Amino acid sequence: MDGVFSVFERVIDRSFMNSDKWSKYPEEVIPMWVADMDFDSPDCIKKALNQRVDEGVYGYTQTPNTLVKAIQSHLSSRYDWGVSAAHLVHLPGLVCALHLSVRIFSNEGDGVIVPGPVYYHLTKAPLTAKRQLISIDMQIQSGRWVPDMAQFEAACANPKSKMILLCNPHNPGGSVYTKAELLRIHALAQQYDLVVVSDEIHCDLILDEVPHVPFASLNQDAANRTITLMAPSKTFNTAGLGYAFAVIENPLLRQRFNQEKAGLIPSPNMLGMTAAIAAYENGQAWHQSLIRYLKNNRDFLASRIAKTPMKMAHLEATYLAWIDVSALSLEDPHAFFLAAGVGVSDGKDFGNPNYIRLNFGCPQSTLDQAMTRIEKALRQRGFI
Ligand SMILES: Cc1ncc(COP(=O)(O)O)c(C=O)c1O
């Protein structure tokens, strides 16, 4: 490993930080579940936060123009996507925006189409709002997780369907939708007049040389029917700071969204906005190193998995490995890995109990330790 990696090699004690990730399991377990990395945020973020904290007054805070400009230039330089300031909606997080969008843009009993297994709030949002969840199976094609398009087409043609919830890049599974795949989905959304909520929170975590295409950037019709959800939080490890944003070009959709959120969803956290400005303005070098580090971790993990009966499709994006453990015929895979000393996410929370999701956003020494524990448990059971 070269010097640029040393910042990601540092093992940080989070045990006293009330971290969700590190509080869930007993101390001796290595937690590899929630999408939160064990890395320090970049210095530019720490400096900006320290400066703002030192100002000492933390009253109600407007969205700074510098934040709007930083987002615009980030979206334009990375995705060639020009977004007007007026189309941005600033939020304290994306989960609330997913749930709110379902409640605004569909009615009780309406169908909401969701390709899965997927991050559980995409399925929870329709279910808790008493919508009909229309699941589309993701399947491995040419080594990548993609939705079954025949099922997708039938779901869109269902007169009950009103919305599509997309997760791109997909969590878990790590596929990045190609432009051609998105255009096919868009053609269906247009034909059947469906609103699209595109959760693109993982878009800055692409490990391969494949482009991220924001769904709303496909064409004018896509822009008109899409609520795009993005945030710096996964990439720059600032989830506890509470800042995310939506891009809603269609004024009718945006007005309804803003109206319904008023009084229910608080303004974003002032420190979250401070961190977002620093991340987008000055975090590029750190971000590039992060991607190289994660890519290395992905390949390290894939090579270790390949020596076991477990399987993992190639992950184009994210630090969340979606691992098929069906060959182990375990009654409770999550409990097996926990007993081995590794706290993974249970695949059933995303829609498939024969899988686990393993977060490799950590120093490689931690990943190595976790894999050594897993291999020991597999050896004891005669699997390797
Ligand atoms: C696809 C996806 N959307 C949303 C979130 C959470 O967003 P937030 O923390 O902004 O509510 C996550 C977190 O893992 C996620 O993976």
Asked whether the predicted pLDDT for residue 179 surpasses 90, the reply is yes
Cβ-contact 209, 316 below 8 angstroms: no
pLDDT for the residue numbered 300: 98
The backbone torsions φ and ψ at residue 60, rounded to the nearest 5 degrees and listed phi first, read -50, 135
Q: Using 50, 70 and 90 to split pLDDT, how confident is the model at 6?
A: confident
On whether the CB atoms of residues 322 and 313 are closer than 8 A, the answer is yes
Q: Is 164 in contact with 313 (CB distance < 8 Å)?
A: no
Ligand 1 probe mutation, 33, 37, 94, most atoms within 8 A of CB: 94
- SS3 category, 224: helix
| Residue nearest ligand 1's atom 7 by CA | 94
119 CB near ligand 1 (under 6 Å): yes
| Residues 6+ away with beta carbon under 8 Å from 109 | 130, 131, 132, 160
- For ligand 1, mutation pick of 33, 171, 215, 233 (most atoms within 8 Å of CB): 171
The first and second tokens of residue 34, run together, are 């929630």
Instruction: Report the percent of the chain where pLDDT is more than 70.
Output: 99
Tens of pLDDT, residues 263-307: 999 999 999 999 999 999 999 999 999 999 999 999 999 999 999
Report residue 47: phi and psi, to 5°: -65, -45
Q: What is the mean pLDDT of residues 160-179?
A: 98
> How close is the Cα of 94 to the center of ligand 1, in Å?
6
Q: Which amino acid is at 156?
A: C
* Structure token pair of residue 260: 């319904």
Residue type, 289: S
Cβ atoms of 42 and 283 within 8 Å: the answer is: yes
Asked whether 62 and 30 are in contact (CB, 8 A), the reply is no
Helix (H, G, I), strand (E, B) or coil at 116: strand
**Which domains does the chain show, CATH number per domain?**
3-42+284-380 (3.90.1150.10), 57-282 (3.40.640.10)
The string of pLDDT tens digits covering residues 102-111 is 999 999 999 9
Predicted confidence at residue 3, as pLDDT, reads 55
Answer yes or no: is pLDDT of 1 > 50: no
3-state helix, strand, coil in the chain (%, to 5): 45, 20, 35
Residues ≥6 apart with Cβ < 8 Å to 288: none
